[in-house]
Amino acid sequence: MSLYRWLLTFLGFPLGGWLAAVLVGPVHDPAAAAAAGAIAGAVIGLAQWWALRSRAGWRWPVVTASGMAAGSALAVVATGAATTPGALALGGLVSGFVVGAGQGLTLGGGPRAAAVWTLAVGLAWGAGWFVTANVIVDAERGYAVFGASGAVVATMLTGLVLRRILGPAGKRVVPPASATEPGFAR
């Protein structure tokens, strides 16, 4: 997997967030969060799909958009749409875990790779919101996704994990949980 191409996908976050803000507005309730999450998730998913090329099928943008819609709505419920740094980081964890779970299933490689990816995306998105929460001054406007500063952090973290899962030539390098688990190169 090309780490350089993956790093360019950070642009999908601010672009998707901007488009969600224009089309939906502030994310202060679960319905708005779901709509904004679907829009931002579609843009992010398409950017990541471009970077992964043949390693992620057409379902990647679809599961990213639907996962972000569901995860964003859950995050608003969990945090009450609060915009403190802690609430934003918790929201990132929640939405990241949901997105990561869907994406992990499309990566292939069995349950271990899916679990590693789910954990990585959740933690990276929590970190992305934490970084952004300490940089932006108007979080109360209700953004759908963290900004460019958080996107760089989240993209770097997930890129390193993805490189570990897929390897530079597309070979899966995360060892299987058992010798009978399909999908891993030996």
3-state secondary structure labels for all residues of the chain: CCHHHHHHHHHHHHHHHHHHHHHCCCCCCHHHHHHHHHHHHHHHHHHHHHHHHHHCCCHHHHHHHHHHHHHHHHHHHHHCCCCCHHHHHHHHHHHHHHHHHHHHHHHCCHHHHHHHHHHHHHHHHHHHHHHHHCCCCCHHHCCCCCCHHHHHHHHHHHHHHHHHHHCCCCCCCCCCCCCCCCCCCC
Within-domain flag for 179:
no
**Cα 111 from Cα 134, distance rounded (Å):** 35
Within-domain flag for 155:
yes
pLDDT value of position 53:
82
**Cα 153 from Cα 157, distance rounded (Å):** 6
Within-domain flag for 176:
no
pLDDT value of position 2:
80
Please give the tally of structural domains in the chain. Answer: 1
Residue 67, CB-side half-sphere exposure with 13 Å CA sphere: 27
For 83, the domain range is 3-166
Contact criterion met (CB below 8 Å) for 145 and 4: no
pLDDT value of position 178:
52
Within-domain flag for 183:
no
Within-domain flag for 174:
no
pLDDT value of position 175:
52
Contact criterion met (CB below 8 Å) for 96 and 78: no
Residue ranges, the chain, pLDDT below 70? 1, 169-186
pLDDT value of position 166:
86
Within-domain flag for 159:
yes
**Cα 174 from Cα 131, distance rounded (Å):** 29
115-154 pLDDT per residue, tens = 999 999 999 999 999 999 998 778 888 999 999 999 999 9
Within-domain flag for 135:
yes
pLDDT value of position 39:
98
| Closest alpha carbon to 160 in 173, 178, 147, 149 | 173
Within-domain flag for 9:
yes
pLDDT value of position 64:
98
